[in-house]
C-alpha cells in the first residue's frame, strides 16, 4: 500500500469508528550520515524511518493517535484509538480541519528533489567529509579535528483528509559540517565549526570551502581577551542575525499569541521594530529546505510578511490558531506523526539593506562584531533577552582582537527598535536567509 | 516474527523477552560480525505513550501512540556502523545487520552467538501503572492545577497543563553474550503560567517527573506544581534588570545542579576525553575544582528521572565519583570509550531511541551536601545575585565555556535577599568557576524531575541535584 493509501485507510477507519472528520499523515525518511575523523571513517549511520499519525474529531473534540507499524491492521487500530480519544477532549469551536478555501497545493515548481538522490550512498558522503577535513587541516594552527560529518537523504509526507484532500510532498536534503580545534600562540585551544545544507547536492558549499571556513573561524578566536563592559553598538554576523530572526518568528506564532506567551501578543499592526526590519516567511521558494506545496494539514503554501518595516503585519498560523484569533491560516502547520500539529515557520528571510557589511563595521567607533550567541536566555513572554556570546572587538571601524566569555543583553522590544541598519549580504543557511545587521542599545558584560 | 507488535494499546504485557527468539538474535549478531567487526549489539525498543493537554481549563487534545524499532551496531576498532529498522521481521533485521556490518571490511564466517538472559535490578517501583488507563481517569489531576495557580494572584492570565506518560521497553543482545531487558516507566506533569500586569507579561513554569507511576500526583502535587508556576510568574512581574558583569552569585539548592551538568558533567563524558576534545582531557588525579567540590553521577537512585536499571548497551547503571574534593577522579563511559581507555564501562551508554547509537551520557548528576546553612551563605554576601530556578544551559566542551539562564533570581544586598531580577544569563568557564566555589550548603536536594539533556541531536531524561553554593565571581549578563 502506498503512503497516501495508508493515510486514506486511516481516515476511512476513523470515520467508521465514529469520527465526524479526520486527517492522517504518513511521514517517511531515508538517509545516511557519516563521521570522518583523521582521515578514517569513524561512523556510518543508516536511517530509515516511518510513522503514521491521525487526528480525529467528533464534532469539535480532538483525539490523536500514532504508530510506526504501517501494517493495515495497525493503521486501522490506530485510527480507532484516535476516534475513541476524541471523546476525552472538551468541545472547542476553533477545532477542526482547515477551511476548504485554504486547502490546496501551491502550483509553482519547488524543485525540492535532487534527481541524483536515488544514487546517493555512504561513499557519496565519506568522500565529501574527507575532502572537508583535509582542507580544514591545511593550516598548521589547526591542531585537531573534531570530525567532518556529511549526509543526506529524502523525506516524504503523505496527507489525506476526510474532506477529500490527498497529496504527497517529497524533498531531498544534504549537508556537510566540519568542527576543528585551533591552538593559539599562548597554547590555548579554540573550537569552531561550519556547516552547509541544501536540498540539492550542487547547492552545497564545496567540501574544501566548508573545511577552510571552519578553520578560519577557529583560528580567528585565538588570542582572545575579555571585552570592556557597557553599552556599545553590536554588529550581528549573518549567523547571529539568524538567531534573532528565528526569535522574531517564534514571537509571532499565533499559538503563542493565543497563549499570551509572547511580548508581541497585542502588537498586531503596531510598529515595534525599526524601519530596517522586514521579515518574510515563504514556503514557495524553489530549492529551499522548508519549501513545500502544502503545510502539515493541507493548507496551500504562501508567502507571509511577518514584520513590514518594523510593523507587526501578520502572525504565523495553522487553521486552529487562526480560528482562535479570527485571522486567516498562513499555511504554517508543522506536523510530525507523533505530535499534535503545531505552528512553525517555513523559510525565513530578513530583507537586506543597501550597504555592504564592511560599511556597517566602518561606522563603528568602538563596539562588538558578534559571531556567536549561545544559551537559552530568551523569555518570549517578557521579552527579556540575555545571552552568552563571542566575537571580535571593533575599534575605529576595524576588526581588532577576538573576545569571549561575554554576555549581550537587552529586551526584545529595544532590540527590534535598535536595529539601526541591515546590510546587503543576504546569506542563506538551511531554511533561513539573513544579512549582517547593526543594533544599538545592547549591554555587554564580561568578567 | 521476531518482534511482533501488540495490536492493542497499551502493549500488554510489556515484556519483549518472551516474544524474542534468542537463537535468532544470536544469528543476527553473527551476521553483524560477518564483515570483521569485533563487537556487535542489537537494541530492541517498544514504547507506548499517552498524553493530555489542557488550556484555559479545558482538555484540548488527548493522544496516545506506540513506536517500535530495532537498531544494530557494529564496532570495528574505533569505527562504528549503525543501522535501524521499524520493520520488525527477521529479513529486515538481517538486512540492517549487514548494513551496519559494512563498517568493517574483512569478510568471514561467524558462528551464531549464544545469548543468555540476565535480570536487572528494579529501581522503578510503581504503585499505579502508567499508560493504558482511560484518559478520563486522568483528567481530574489536570483540572486541579489551574485552580490552584489562579488562586495565587488575579494577574495569572493563562494556565497550560500537560501530563505525559510513557512505558518504554528496551532489550539488548550483544556479541558478549548479554541479553537483558528493562521496562522503563516515565511520568511527567507540567504547568506553564502567564501573568500580566498592564503591558508587562511574564511566564512561570514548574513540573515534576519520575520513573514511577501515577502516584507522583498523590496528595496535593497538582496544586503544588500549579502554585509554583504561578508564583514564579507573579514574582517576575516585579523583576528589575539584573546587574551586569562579574558578581558574587549564590546558587539555590536543587535546580542549580544545571550548573554541574554543564560546567562539569558534559566535559567528563568520555567520548570527548578519549578523543582529547574536552577541557578535562588527561587530567585524572589533578585538582580541577575547589576542594569543597565533589560531583557524582548516579543512575541508581530509586525512581529518579535520570535513573536506569541498565544502560542502552545492557550494562548495569552505576554511581561514579567524577570529582572528589576538587580532584578529578573519573569519566562517564560507554562501552566504546571504556574499551579505548581500557577501563570498565560505567553504565552511561545511553541513546534516545533505537534510531540512534549510544553515547556516554549523564544520569543524575549532583553535588553532595557541605556544612553551611543557606542563611549563612546568603548572609556572607554584601552584594550579589541569588539564582534559584533555571531555564537550561549549554556548554562548549573544548574550552569549557558554559552559560545557564536563570528564570528566577534575586539581588542580594547586605546579606539579605532583595528585589527579584529579570531573566539573566550567567557565563563562565567550567574549571575556572568550579575553582571559585567558596561555600557549600547543608541543604542538598535533588531537583524535581523535569530535565532533558540534548547532545548530538539525541535527548535523554536526566536528573540534577545541588546544595546551596556560593561562587565568588561569575559573569552575570544583566543590563543594570
Q: pLDDT by residue (tens digit) across A183-230?
A: 999 888 899 999 999 999 999 999 999 999 999 999 999 999 989 999
pLDDT at residue A100, as a whole number = 96
Asked if B397 has any chain A CB less than 8 Å from its own CB, the reply is: yes
Mean pLDDT of A275-293: 98
Residue B225 lies in a domain: yes
The whole-angstrom distance between B104's CA and the closest CA on chain A is 10
8 Å CB contact of A191 and B355: no
Q: Which of B439, B387, B438 is nearest to B412 (CA)?
A: B387
The whole-angstrom distance between A396's CA and the closest CA on chain B is 24
Same domain as B233, residue B282: no
Each residue's pLDDT tens digit, A312-353: 999 999 999 999 999 999 999 999 999 889 999 999 999 999
Q: How many CB pairs under 8 A join A and B?
A: 257
Query: Distance between CA A201 and CA B32 in Å, rounded?
Result: 31
8 Å CB contact of B67 and A67: yes
8 Å CB contact of A375 and B403: yes
8 Å CB contact of B65 and A67: yes
Mean pLDDT of A150-170: 98
**Half-sphere exposure of A307 toward its Cβ, with a 13 Å CA cutoff?**
28
C-alpha radius of gyration, chain B, whole number: 24
pLDDT at residue B398, as a whole number = 81
Query: Distance between CA A443 and CA A410 in Å, rounded?
Result: 6
Contact between A291 and A267 (Cβ < 8 Å):
no
Using the predicted structure, report yes or no on whether residue B70 has a pLDDT greater than 90: yes
Each residue's pLDDT tens digit, A365-415: 999 999 999 988 999 999 999 999 999 999 999 999 999 999 999 999 999
Mutation target vs B (from A40, A63, A70, A89; most B CBs, 10 A cutoff) = A89
pLDDT at residue B15, as a whole number = 65
Q: Which of B198, B214, B237 is the last residue of a domain?
A: B237
The whole-angstrom distance between B121's CA and the closest CA on chain A is 30
Asked if B247 has any chain A CB less than 8 Å from its own CB, the reply is: no
Same domain as B215, residue B107: yes
The whole-angstrom distance between A354's CA and the closest CA on chain B is 31
8 Å CB contact of A43 and B52: no
Task: Quote the crossing angle between the two packed helices B135-152 and B221-237, to the nearest 10°.
Answer: 40
pLDDT at residue B2, as a whole number = 38
Burial of A202 (0-12, 13-18, 19+ CB in 10 A): exposed
Each residue's pLDDT tens digit, A416-438: 999 999 999 999 999 999 999 99
Please report, for residues A4, B26, B72, B245, the alpha-carbon distance to residue B111 in angstroms, rounded to integers and kept in the order given.
43, 9, 17, 64
pLDDT at residue B6, as a whole number = 40
Each residue's pLDDT tens digit, B1-39: 234 334 345 545 456 766 778 889 999 999 999 999 999
Same domain as B417, residue B293: yes
8 Å CB contact of A67 and B96: no
Residue B4 lies in a domain: no
Query: Which residues share a beta bridge with B370?
Result: none
Residue B3 lies in a domain: no
Same domain as B349, residue B202: no
Query: Which residues share a beta bridge with A194?
Result: A178
Each residue's pLDDT tens digit, B110-123: 888 888 887 778 99
The whole-angstrom distance between B69's CA and the closest CA on chain A is 8
**Half-sphere exposure of B193 toward its Cβ, with a 13 Å CA cutoff?**
32
Same domain as B250, residue B222: no
Peptide bond preceding A115 in cis form (omega within 30 of 0): no
Mean pLDDT of A49-77: 96
Q: How many CB atoms lie within 10 A of CB A93?
A: 9
Same domain as B329, residue B182: no
Residue B201 lies in a domain: yes
**CA triple A297-A299-A303, angle to 5 deg:** 130
Asked if A228 has any chain B CB less than 8 Å from its own CB, the reply is: no
Record the cell numbers describing residue A93, joined without a space.
469551536
pLDDT at residue B400, as a whole number = 87
Same domain as B185, residue B76: yes
Same domain as B322, residue B288: yes
pLDDT at residue B23, as a whole number = 87
Each residue's pLDDT tens digit, B360-379: 999 999 999 999 999 999 99
Instruction: Write out the DSSP string of A389-434.
Output: EEEEEEETTEEEEEEEEEEEEEEHHHHHHTEEEE-S--EEETTEEE
Asked if A20 has any chain B CB less than 8 Å from its own CB, the reply is: no
Residue spans per domain, chain A: 3-219, 224-447
Q: How many CB atoms lie within 10 A of CB A325?
A: 16
Mean pLDDT of A167-175: 98
Instruction: Tell me B213's DSSP state.
Output: -
Q: Which of B237, B255, B276 is the last residue of a domain?
A: B237
Asked if B420 has any chain A CB less than 8 Å from its own CB, the reply is: no
**Half-sphere exposure of A123 toward its Cβ, with a 13 Å CA cutoff?**
2
Q: Which of A62, A380, A383 sits opposite B61 (nearest CB)?
A: A62
8 Å CB contact of A377 and B405: yes
Residue B384 domain boundaries: 244-477
pLDDT at residue B3, as a whole number = 40
Residue B158 lies in a domain: yes
The torsion defined by the Cα of A373, A375, A376 and A378, in degrees rounded to 10, comes to -40
* Residues of B with Cβ-Cβ distance to A49 under 8 angstroms: 84, 86, 355
Using the predicted structure, report yes or no on whether residue A163 has a pLDDT greater than 90: yes
Domain A3-219 class?
A: alpha beta
Query: Distance between CA A318 and CA A254 in Å, rounded?
Result: 8
Q: Which of A41, A43, A407 sits opposite B427 (nearest CB)?
A: A407
Same domain as B81, residue B102: yes
Sequence-ordered strand ranges (E) for B56-131: 58-76, 79-85, 116-118
Same domain as B199, residue B51: yes
Residue B10 lies in a domain: no
Q: Which of B216, B237, B258 is the last residue of a domain?
A: B237
For chain A positions 97-116, those within 8 Å of chain B (CB to CB) are none
The most distant pair of C-alpha atoms in chain A lies apart, rounded to whole Å, by 73
Contact between A197 and A430 (Cβ < 8 Å):
yes
Please report, for residues A213, A394, A415, B347, B375, the alpha-carbon distance to residue B12 in angstroms, rounded to integers and kept in the order given.
53, 64, 54, 28, 51
* Residues of B with Cβ-Cβ distance to A229 under 8 angstroms: 244-245
Which residue reads 544534504 in cell numbers?
A174
pLDDT at residue B9, as a whole number = 52
Contacts of A329 (CB under 8 A, 6+ apart): A98, A99, A102, A299, A317, A318, A319, A322
Same domain as B261, residue B226: no
For chain B positions 96-125, those within 8 Å of chain A (CB to CB) are 96, 99-100, 102-103
Residue environment code for B93-130, b if the CB has 16+ CB neighbours within 10 A, otherwise e: bbbbbbbbbbbbeeeeebeebebeeeebeebbebeeeb
For chain A positions 289-328, those within 8 Å of chain B (CB to CB) are none
Q: Tell me what the pLDDT averaged over chain B comes to.
A: 92
- Domain count for chain B: 2
Q: Which of A304, A323, A324, A302 is nearest to A315 (CA)?
A: A304
Same domain as B351, residue B321: yes
Peptide bond preceding B10 in cis form (omega within 30 of 0): yes
Amino acid at each position: 500500500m502506498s503512503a497516501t493509501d495508508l493515510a486514506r485507510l486511516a481516515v476511512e477507519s476513523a470515520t467508521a469508528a465514529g469520527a465526524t472528520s479526520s486527517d492522517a499523515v504518513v511521514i517517511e525518511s531515508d538517509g545516511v550520515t557519516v563521521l570522518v575523523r583523521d582521515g578514517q571513517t569513524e561512523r556510518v549511520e543508516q536511517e530509515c524511518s516511518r510513522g503514521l499519525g491521525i487526528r480525529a474529531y467528533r464534532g469539535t473534540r480532538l483525539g490523536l493517535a500514532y504508530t510506526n507499524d504501517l501494517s493495515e491492521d495497525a493503521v486501522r487500530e490506530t485510527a480507532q484509538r484516535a476516534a475513541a480519544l476524541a471523546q476525552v477532549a472538551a468541545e472547542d469551536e476553533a477545532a477542526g480541519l482547515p477551511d476548504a478555501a485554504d486547502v490546496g497545493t501551491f502550483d509553482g515548481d519547488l524543485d525540492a528533489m535532487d534527481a541524483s538522490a536515488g544514487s546517493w550512498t555512504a561513499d557519496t558522503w565519506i568522500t565529501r567529509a574527507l575532502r572537508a577535513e583535509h582542507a580544514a587541516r591545511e593550516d598548521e594552527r589547526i591542531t585537531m579535528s573534531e570530525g567532518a560529518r556529511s549526509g543526506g537523504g529524502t523525506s516524504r509526507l503523505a496527507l489525506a483528509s476526510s474532506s477529500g484532500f490527498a497529496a504527497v510532498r517529497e524533498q531531498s536534503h544534504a549537508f556537510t559540517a566540519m568542527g576543528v580545534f585551533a591552538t593559539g600562540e599562548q597554547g590555548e585551544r579554540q573550537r569552531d565549526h561550519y556547516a552547509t545544507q541544501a536540498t540539492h547536492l550542487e547547492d552545497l558549499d564545496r567540501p574544501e570551502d566548508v573545511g577552510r571556513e571552519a578553520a578560519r573561524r577557529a583560528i580567528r578566536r585565538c588570542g582572545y581577551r575579555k571585552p570592556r563592559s557597557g553599552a556599545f553598538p553590536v554588529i550581528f554576523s549573518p549567523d547571529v542575525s539568524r538567531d534573532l530572526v528565528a526569535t522574531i518568528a517564534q514571537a509571532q506564532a499565533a499559538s503563542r499569541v493565543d497563549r499570551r506567551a509572547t511580548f508581541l501578543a497585542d502588537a498586531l499592526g503596531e510598529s515595534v521594530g525599526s524601519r530596517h526590519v522586514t521579515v518574510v516567511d515563504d514556503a514557495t521558494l524553489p530549492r529551499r529546505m522548508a519549501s513545500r506545496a502544502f503545510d502539515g494539514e493541507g493548507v496551500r503554501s504562501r508567502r507571509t510578511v511577518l514584520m513590514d518595516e518594523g510593523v507587526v503585519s501578520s502572525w504565523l498560523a495553522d487553521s486552529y490558531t487562526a480560528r482562535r484569533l479570527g485571522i486567516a491560516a498562513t499555511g504554517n502547520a508543522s506536523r510530525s506523526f507523533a505530535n499534535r500539529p503545531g505552528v512553525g515557520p517555513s523559510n525565513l528571510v530578513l530583507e537586506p539593506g543597501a550597504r555592504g557589511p564592511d560599511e556597517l563595521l566602518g561606522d563603528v567607533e568602538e563596539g562588538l562584531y558578534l559571531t556567536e550567541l549561545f544559551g537559552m536566555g530568551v523569555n518570549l513572554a517578557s521579552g527579556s533577552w540575555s545571552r552568552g556570546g563571542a566575537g571580535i572587538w571593533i575599534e575605529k571601524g576595524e576588526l581588532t582582537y577576538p573576545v569571549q566569555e561575554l554576555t549581550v543583553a537587552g529586551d526584545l522590544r529595544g532590540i527590534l527598535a535598535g536595529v539601526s541598519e541591515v546590510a546587503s549580504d543576504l546569506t542563506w543557511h538551511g531554511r533561513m536567509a539573513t544579512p549582517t545587521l547593526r543594533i544599538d542599545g545592547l549591554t555587554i558584560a564580561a568578567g | 516474527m521476531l518482534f511482533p507488535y501488540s495490536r492493542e494499546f497499551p502493549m500488554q504485557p510489556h515484556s519483549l523477552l518472551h516474544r524474542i527468539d534468542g537463537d535468532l538474535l544470536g544469528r543476527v549478531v553473527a551476521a553483524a560480525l560477518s564483515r570483521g567487526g569485533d563487537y556487535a549489539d542489537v537494541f530492541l525498543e517498544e514504547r507506548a505513550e499517552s498524553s493530555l493537554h489542557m488550556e484555559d481549563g479545558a482538555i484540548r487534545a488527548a493522544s496516545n501512540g506506540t513506536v517500535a524499532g530495532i537498531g544494530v551496531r557494529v564496532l570495528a576498532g574505533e569505527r562504528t556502523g549503525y543501522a535501524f529498522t521499524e520493520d520488525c521481521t527477521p529479513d529486515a533485521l538481517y538486512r540492517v545487520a549487514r548494513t551496519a556490518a559494512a563498517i568493517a571490511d574483512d569478510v568471514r564466517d561467524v558462528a551464531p552467538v549464544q545469548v543468555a538472559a540476565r535480570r536487572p535490578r528494579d529501581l522503578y517501583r510503581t504503585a499505579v501503572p502508567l499508560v493504558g488507563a482511560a484518559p478520563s481517569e486522568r483528567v481530574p489531576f489536570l483540572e486541579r492545577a489551574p485552580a490552584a495557580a489562579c488562586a495565587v494572584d488575579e494577574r495569572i492570565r493563562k494556565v497550560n497543563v500537560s501530563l505525559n506518560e510513557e512505558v518504554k521497553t528496551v532489550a539488548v543482545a550483544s556479541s558478549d553474550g548479554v541479553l537483558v531487558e528493562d521496562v522503563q516507566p516515565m511520568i511527567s506533569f507540567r504547568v506553564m503560567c502567564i501573568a500580566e500586569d498592564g503591558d508587562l507579561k511574564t511566564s512561570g513554569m514548574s513540573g515534576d517527573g519520575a520513573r514511577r507511576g501515577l502516584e507522583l500526583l498523590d496528595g496535593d502535587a497538582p496544586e503544588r506544581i500549579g502554585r509554583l508556576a504561578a508564583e514564579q510568574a507573579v514574582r517576575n512581574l516585579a523583576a528589575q534588570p539584573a546587574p551586569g558583569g562579574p558578581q558574587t552569585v549564590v546558587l539555590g539548592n536543587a535546580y542549580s545542579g544545571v550548573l554541574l551538568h554543564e560546567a562539569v558533567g558534559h566535559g567528563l563524558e568520555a567520548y570527548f576525553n578519549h578523543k582529547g576534545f574536552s577541557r578535562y582531557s588527561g587530567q585524572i588525579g589533578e585538582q580541577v575544582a575547589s576542594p569543597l567540590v565533589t560531583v557524582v553521577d548516579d543512575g541508581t537512585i530509586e525512581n529518579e528521572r535520570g535513573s536506569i536499571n541498565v544502560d542502552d548497551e545492557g550494562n548495569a547503571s552505576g554511581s561514579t565519583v567524577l570529582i572528589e574534593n576538587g580532584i578529578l577522579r573519573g569519566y562517564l563511559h560507554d562501552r566504546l570509550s571504556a574499551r579505548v581507555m581500557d577501563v570498565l564501562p560505567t553504565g552511561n551508554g545511553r541513546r534516545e531511541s533505537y534510531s540512534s547509537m549510544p553515547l556516554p551520557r549523564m544520569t543524575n548528576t549532583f553535588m553532595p551536601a557541605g556544612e553551611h546553612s543557606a542563611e549563612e551563605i546568603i548572609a556572607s554576601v554584601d552584594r550579589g545575585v541569588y539564582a534559584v530556578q533555571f531555564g537550561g544551559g549549554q556548554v562548549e566542551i573544548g574550552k569549557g565555556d558554559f552559560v545557564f539562564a536563570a528564570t528566577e533570581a534575586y539581588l542580594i544586598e547586605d546579606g539579605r535577599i532583595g528585589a527579584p531580577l529579570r531573566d539573566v544569563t550567567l557565563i563562565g568557564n567550567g574549571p575556572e568557576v568550579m575553582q571559585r566555589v567558596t561555600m557549600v550548603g547543608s541543604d542538598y536536594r535533588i531537583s524535581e524531575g523535569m530535565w532533558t539533556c540534548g547532545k548530538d541531536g539525541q535527548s535523554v531524561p536526566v536528573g540534577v541535584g545541588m546544595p546551596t553554593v556560593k561562587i565568588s565571581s561569575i559573569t552575570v549578563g544583566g543590563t543594570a
